[in-house]
Each structure stands twice: as structure tokens, then as C-alpha cells.
Amino acid sequence: MSALTVLNYLTSPVGIFVLWIVLHFIAPHLYVYFCTPATLVGFVLSPFIAPAPHCMAFRWVIYNGGSMITSMWMVVGSWFIRKLVNRDDENKKD
């Protein structure tokens, strides 16, 4: 699979949907690892680490990724309903 094929897939609507799902899955794991270490030192340092740019970026991906996935499900549902309505209209014409 060439890089151009992968790039074409990622710029398609399905590829963007899959990319958001992957980012939304990975970001919380990275946030926990880098921004909230499960140690006493991590607890003490978390108020200083949380506003760091990489932690803010992880939170942005988590929040906006969830919103984007919800929006995409609405688009898929709307498309599916439209297909059903069109099918019913075509059946009534016949």
C-alpha cells in the first residue's frame, strides 16, 4: 500500500471518521501516561503538568473527538434515513 493510497483514504469521509476514532482512543491513554502519573509524585505534580501544552492538546482531542464522533453518527443516521425515504418514494411511484 503506497503512501498516496493511504493519504487518499484518510482524506475520504470514512478515513476521517476512522482517524477521529483512533485519535479519540489513543489520546486518553496518552493523557493518563504523560499528564496524570499514578504515583504520589504524579499526584503532587499534576497541577503543574495539567496546563502543559501537550496535556491541553490531549484534552482537546478527547473532547472534540467525542463531539466529532457524535456528529458523524448523526450524519450517518441522516444519510441512512434519507436512503430509506428515497426507497419508499421510489416504491410508491412504481
pLDDT in tens, 59-70: 999 999 999 999
| Total domains present in the chain | 1
Q: What is the pLDDT of residues 32-89, one digit of tens each?
A: 999 988 899 988 998 999 999 999 999 999 999 999 999 989 988 998 898 888 876 6
Cβ count within 10 A of residue 46? 13
DSSP string, 21-50: HHHHHHHHHHHHHHHS-SSHHHHHHHHHHT
**What are 71's three cell numbers?**
456528529
Handedness of CA 64, 62, 11, 85 (dihedral sign): negative
What pLDDT band is residue 90 in, cutting at 50, 70 and 90?
Answer: low
Please give the residue range of the domain that contains residue 36: 3-93
For 48, the grid coordinates are 503543574
Question: In 3-state terms, what secondary structure has residue 1?
Answer: coil
